[in-house]
Structures are given as C-alpha cells and as structure tokens.
Chain A
Amino acid sequence: MSRWPSPPPYNLVGKHGVSPHTNHDDRARFNFLAQLNTHLATHVLPANATAYHLKVKPAFEQEHGRAPKDRHEVRRAMLKNPQFQTWSALRRSSMELRQQNGREVVLRQLADLNKRAADLNRNSSKLKLDPSFVVPSYVAKVDFHCMPGGYVDELAPDDVSAAANYDVGIFATTGGGLGRLNDGAGHALAGWLAKNAPELKPKRILDLGCGLGHSLLPVAQAFPDADIVGIEVAAPLLRFAHARAKSLGVDNITFVQANAEHVPEPDASFDLVFTTMFLHETSNSAIKNIINETHRLLRPGGLCIHLEQPQFEGLPPFEQFMRDWDALYNNEPFWTRMHEMDIDSLMENAGFSREKMFVSGAQAVVDEAIFGKQKDDVEDYGRKASWHAFGVYK
C-alpha cells in the first residue's frame, strides 16, 4: 500500500546521468501541475459528459430532430458550451505552463546538460547518428504536444534540450502515472510479453520510434542477452536516449538515427518488433510504410506489437470527440487520423494474416510503493497510462 500521496512529490522521480538538476521551485511547479492535471481529469473533465447529455445533446435534438451523427457535429455544438470552454482553456494553459517550466529548467543549464550527454556518448559504438539524415517532414514541421521546436530543433551543438524537456516534465502531464523513470509503458510491455509470449525468447528486438528509450529500457532489461536496436529520427532524442541508457547500466541497445519507413536492417532479422505511443505521431502514408517494414523485418513466427490509445471505430461520437481533443488543441495533428485508420487491413496488405492478429490491453507498471496503483476509474481520454495493445505474429 502506497504511503505517498497521489500524485507523489516530484522529488521521488528517478535520476539518471542526464537528468536536469531541479531546484525547490522547479519541483514545486511540477507538483502544482501534476496536482492541477489530476484535478482537471478527476473533477472538471467528467462534467463535459454531463454538459453534453443534459444540455448540448437535447438542444441539438430539439433543433435538428436527431442526435449528432458524428464527432464533428458534437464538437461544433460543444465548442459553444461554457463547461467545455473552461476545461479546454485550463487544459491548454496547463500544457503551456508545463512546456515553459520544462524549458526553463533545461535551457538555463543547457551547456552542462549537453556536455554530460556528450561525455556519456563519446566514442560509443552504440550510438549511430547520421549527419546527412533528413528528418521526415511530418516530424520536422510539427511542434508535437506544444513543445516549441518539436523533437528536432537544436539550440546548441550536441543538443539534447528537446529530450531533456520531455523527460523532466512528463511527470506533470501524467500525474506521475508513468512511474519513477517514466517507463511504466516499457514495464507494461515487458510484463505483457512474459505473460502472453513466454515462448518467444527474442534474440533480436527492434523499437521503432524509440524516442528517449523510456519504453525500450525495461524490455532490454527483461532480455539482457538480446541484441536490441532502437531507431528514431530526432538526433536530440537519440543522444539523450543513449546517454540515459548508459548511465542506467543498460548496454545491449544500439540507438540508430533512421526512418521507421526504411529501416537499415536485413529482411527477417528480428524476433520482436514493437512501437509505443509512436504511430500517432506519424503521417498516414508513413504508417502504411512502417507496417510494411514490420512485416519485412520480422522472422517467421516473430511478433509485432504496438501500444496506443484505442482506435475510434465503434466508439460513440461523444467519446470520439473527447479523444480528438489532443489532435485539435494539443498539437497532435495526426492523432485522430491514425486512430481512424483500419490498421488490420494495413497489416493484412503488408503480408500478415488476419488469424494471427490480436487486440489486448496493457496498463502502466510502476513502483506501487511510491506511485500507487493506477486508478482504473479515471478516464483522461488519451492521457491515461494504460493502452490498447495490438499486433500480429508473422
């Protein structure tokens, strides 16, 4: 049983070799935002459904003689509702505060952070950056979740600021739901594999869009003898990911700057290929290419698994509308497009067979002594630390 409050205090967030130093007020700001986001999800967000069912939908029905037929009609009506306006304005404001706080912490110590990363990365054969690499425009031109400069902008040589800002502040966005090292999704995936695919015993593992390596490290630790590759397009994330992994004593991962649409690895060379919270930050064309790559890269009998929020298909229009919020108001322009795609058909077209596809779930696994058990009754539409796990065996 956890003795710490929920969300727990920021000083319990784990440190590694490229963690930015935080002072008392920095930590107090993240504590405030974790509390604010928890409050909004628990107390303000649910009132949107109330407003919809009690006021907005009846008024719509009165005017049109029918219920709203899709999420667009729900949205046009809800945008005029004061409850939705207030919650949305607060949620947006909270995200902007989080970005400013994270950037304040990181930018004021940027030279030191970049040096710490460079020292950990120097002469490593496990970090493969490509100075001629062209970042695909769907990443280069979007400031995902309101991060100024996105994942790729560099403010100094050997810059890791985008990654360090992501790492230092994600506690606030998730209210601590991802655990001590923000790696609850990786532990969830490792747990899923142990339970559902104990016979797999992967020798080679590939993480597409590995970001900071948050999800990859727990998988690497679960398979210490495996040869593991994490690919990512953004150099600041790769520098940070490698330095973080090295400082945490994980040495079986090679971090490679490459596009998940064209992975520089031979056919049938992996036993396990996975993504976590990745597909929704790529374009529709890219997803198709990525799914094709997963088929090419897997050996027969190998497993491909993706962790994302649920697809929209079959969800009521109001829930689709709520889940669309981040796409429209938190700079996640591909979010809805990805969640509307028929990914099973993409997998089938890539050469996978429908009988070998599955849909499952995975919940963040965190140190419950500190972070408590995830509350299953609070739905934060897209922010919740539990996922739709789907995939296919080749």
Chain B
Amino acid sequence: MNDAPFDYIPLTGAKPRGKRPYFFDDPAVERVLAITMAVAQEVAVLRERLDTIERLLEKTGGVSRADIDAYEPDQDAATQRSEWSRMYIARVLRIVQQEVEALNAAPENNYDLDAKADELGTT
C-alpha cells in the first residue's frame, strides 16, 4: 500500500536539523555501525517473518521447497518486492543519505544545538 502523492522513501531517512553527533574517534566506524544496526534490524525482521511462516505451516499444512523454487512473481508481487527492496537499501544506507544531506544543508539547518538553544532561549 502506498498512497503518498510523492516519493516518500527518501523522506523516511531525512536528517533532522542540528549537527549529528559522532562518538567514535574515526567517523567511518560510526558509519559502519549505523549501517550494521540497520542490517541487524532487518535480519530480526526476516527471522520474525520466518517464524510466522513456520508457525502457520505447522497449523495449516505445507509448502514444498519445489513450490518455492518454482515460484514466479506476478506483476503485483514484483511491484511489492521492488518497493521492499528500495526501502531496504534506503534504510541500510540512511547514514550515507544523512551525510550527503548535511553536506548540502543550508548552514542555518546544520546548527550547533547548544548555540541554537542560546539563540532561542530568549524567544
């Protein structure tokens, strides 16, 4: 289901205003960690989905490996899979997107949070 009147996927991982903190001495480590955690999340999602399938199979009968091997997605399934795949990549590479956005951000949207609180504290 996608009823958005625009391409919503790049918006899901948009960078919030304010500088992103980096904690490791080398920002590359942070980048890899953030990517790894997204992959870890998706492995958990797959595991949960597989578990659902196993439990349903246990209740309702079976599908064979041959069925799975022979499966050909129709147009709807192919569209849903493609959408899943786009979202998956966007998710895993979120930190890369945000670093690109930070590079491109207008300076007023890349502010230091503490300095902004100084500025706005009397508003």
State the CA gap A147–B14 with chains docked (Å).
Answer: 9
A-B contact count (CB 8 A): 154
State the CA gap A328–B117 with chains docked (Å).
Answer: 11
Interfacial residues of chain A within 324-342, with CB under 8 A of chain B in the complex = 327-329, 331, 333-334, 337
Are A328 and B23 in contact, CB atoms less than 8 angstroms apart? Answer: no
State the CA gap A148–B11 with chains docked (Å).
Answer: 9
Considering only CB atoms, which chain B residue lies closest to A95 in the complex?
B16
Are A32 and B4 in contact, CB atoms less than 8 angstroms apart? Answer: no
Quick one: which of A96, A110, A136, A285 has the most chain B CB within 10 A? A96
Are A25 and B37 in contact, CB atoms less than 8 angstroms apart? Answer: no
Name the one of B24, B44, B87, B120 contacting A32, with C-beta atoms under 8 angstroms: B44
State the CA gap A142–B113 with chains docked (Å).
Answer: 9
Residues of A within 8 A of B16 (CB): 99, 143, 146-148, 150, 331
For the complex formed, measure the closest distance between the CB of A92 and the CB atoms of chain B, giving whole angstroms.
Answer: 6
Name the one of A33, A89, A97, A107 contacting B4, with C-beta atoms under 8 angstroms: A107
State the CA gap A143–B1 with chains docked (Å).
Answer: 28
Considering only CB atoms, which chain B residue lies closest to A110 in the complex?
B4
Are A333 and B117 in contact, CB atoms less than 8 angstroms apart? Answer: yes
Are B48 and A28 in contact, CB atoms less than 8 angstroms apart? Answer: yes
Are A104 and B23 in contact, CB atoms less than 8 angstroms apart? Answer: no
Q: Is B17 an interface residue (CB 8 A)?
A: yes
Q: Is B34 an interface residue (CB 8 A)?
A: yes
For the complex formed, measure the closest distance between the CB of A14 and the CB atoms of chain B, giving whole angstroms.
Answer: 21
Q: Is B81 an interface residue (CB 8 A)?
A: no
Quick one: which of A107, A111, A327, A329 has the most chain B CB within 10 A? A107
- Interface size of A by CB at 8 A reads 56
Interfacial residues of chain B within 99-123, with CB under 8 A of chain A in the complex = 113-114, 116-117, 120-123
Are B23 and A88 in contact, CB atoms less than 8 angstroms apart? Answer: yes
State the CA gap A28–B121 with chains docked (Å).
Answer: 40
Are B23 and A89 in contact, CB atoms less than 8 angstroms apart? Answer: yes
State the CA gap A281–B45 with chains docked (Å).
Answer: 33
Q: Is A103 an interface residue (CB 8 A)?
A: yes
Residues of B within 8 A of A36 (CB): 37, 41
With A104-B87, A143-B16 as known contacts, state yes or no: A329 contacts B21, CB within 8 Å: yes
Are A100 and B91 in contact, CB atoms less than 8 angstroms apart? Answer: yes
Q: Interface residue tally of chain B, by bracket? A: 35 or more
Residues of B within 8 A of A31 (CB): 44, 48
For the complex formed, measure the closest distance between the CB of B33 and the CB atoms of chain A, giving whole angstroms.
Answer: 5
State the CA gap A28–B40 with chains docked (Å).
Answer: 12
Are B3 and A25 in contact, CB atoms less than 8 angstroms apart? Answer: no
Residues of A within 8 A of B122 (CB): 283-285
State the CA gap A137–B14 with chains docked (Å).
Answer: 21
Name the one of B11, B21, B45 contacting A92, with C-beta atoms under 8 angstroms: B21
For the complex formed, measure the closest distance between the CB of B47 and the CB atoms of chain A, giving whole angstroms.
Answer: 8
Interfacial residues of chain A within 90-128, with CB under 8 A of chain B in the complex = 90, 92-94, 96-97, 99-100, 103-104, 107-112
Are A333 and B114 in contact, CB atoms less than 8 angstroms apart? Answer: yes
Residues of B within 8 A of A86 (CB): 23-24, 33
Q: Is A351 an interface residue (CB 8 A)?
A: no
Quick one: which of A86, A97, A156, A286 has the most chain B CB within 10 A? A97
Interfacial residues of chain A within 140-159, with CB under 8 A of chain B in the complex = 141-143, 146-150, 155-156
Q: Is A387 an interface residue (CB 8 A)?
A: no
Are A100 and B121 in contact, CB atoms less than 8 angstroms apart? Answer: no
With A85-B23, A143-B16, A283-B123 as known contacts, state yes or no: A28 contacts B38, CB within 8 Å: no
0/1 per residue, B78-92, Cβ < 8 Å to A?
A: 000000000100010
0/1 per residue, A70-86, Cβ < 8 Å to B?
A: 00000000010000111
Q: Is A138 an interface residue (CB 8 A)?
A: yes
Residues of A within 8 A of B17 (CB): 141-143, 150, 331
Residues of A within 8 A of B30 (CB): 89
Q: Is A299 an interface residue (CB 8 A)?
A: no
**17 chain-A/chain-B pairs, Cβ below 8 angstroms:** A32-B44, A32-B48, A36-B37, A85-B23, A89-B22, A92-B23, A104-B9, A107-B4, A138-B123, A141-B116, A141-B120, A143-B18, A148-B16, A155-B6, A283-B122, A285-B121, A329-B21
Interface pairs A-B: 4 shortest CB-CB: A143-B16, A148-B14, A107-B8, A333-B117
With A33-B41, A92-B23, A285-B122 given, name 10 new contacts (CB 8 A): A88-B21, A96-B13, A97-B91, A104-B12, A107-B8, A109-B3, A142-B18, A147-B16, A285-B121, A331-B18
Q: Which B residues are within 8 Å of any A CB, using their own CB?
A: 1-6, 8-9, 11-18, 20-25, 29-30, 33-34, 37-38, 40-41, 44-45, 48-49, 52, 87, 91, 94-95, 98, 113-114, 116-117, 120-123
